[in-house]
Amino acid sequence: MKLQNKTAFVTGASSGMGHAIALKFAAEGATVIAVARRREKLDALVKESAGLAGKIIAKSGDVADVDGITKVLDESFAEFGKIDILVNNAGVMDEMMPAAECSDELWDKVIDTNLRGPFVICRRWLNGQLDNGGGVIINTASIGGLFGSRAGASYTASKFGVIGLTKNIAFMYAQKGIRCNAIAPGSVATEIAVGIKNPSAFGMERASAGMGANPRYGEADEIAKVALFLASDDSSFVNGAVITADGGWSAY
């Protein structure tokens, strides 16, 4: 068991990569605090985890709600005393809107969920976990945070920001027992694209220009395996890294 006696806090756990990460961690012995907006999906996740070495506990929360998500973290620290592993996974897409078409409302929605939320959660987690001897942060970035046009302007900016935040925390707190790394997935079969309702035709055309070079789509469990590596002592010397998991797409 790679995560025996560990407590993990996973956002965006109701589906996709967060769902897979929660199950993977619980299978390795962790107590997983699974956080998302859709309580019914979380309850189904808890049932799915029955019989695993660890356990999953569902908590409703929206990472874009600063006060609300901070309260969930406060409650979790009060209940468990420590949170060894933090996974900032929740995220939203941006309708592939290029800068000229991106509204203030869309920009704020994407930045609040994809960047401000992880920052607020990291800040609260650091203030709660530093006295517990350190721990691990895993941020879900994207190859959209490494390249300029895998999505619209706001999503791209948010994921570049997540990578910068990851590297800053990693170095700042390295000598205090904190490791902070990011995973940059390519195209993965999850529900995130369901949120694209009315995409920009121009933005979609430009963002899709390189799709022909994509070898294949990934599965959520493949990303969960990377997260398990980063969460465990197997990656004890890995800090401030961005692990690209895209089937070779960005190697082109």
The verdict on whether 252 is a catalytic residue reads no
Straight-line distance from the first to the last Cα atom of the chain, in angstroms, rounded to the nearest whole number:
37
The tokens describing 168, both together, are 């800053």
- Residue written as token pair 């980063």: 230
Residue type, 106: L
- Residues 38, 39, 40, 45: what is their CA dihedral angle, to the nearest 10 degrees? 100
- For 236, how many CA atoms within 13 A lie in the half-sphere containing its CB? 3
Catalytic residue among 155, 173, 217, 252: 155
Which of these, 85, 207, 74, 209, lies nearest to 128 by C-alpha position? 74
Give the containing element (helix H, strand E) for 172: helix 153-172
By annotation, the residues acting in catalysis are: 155
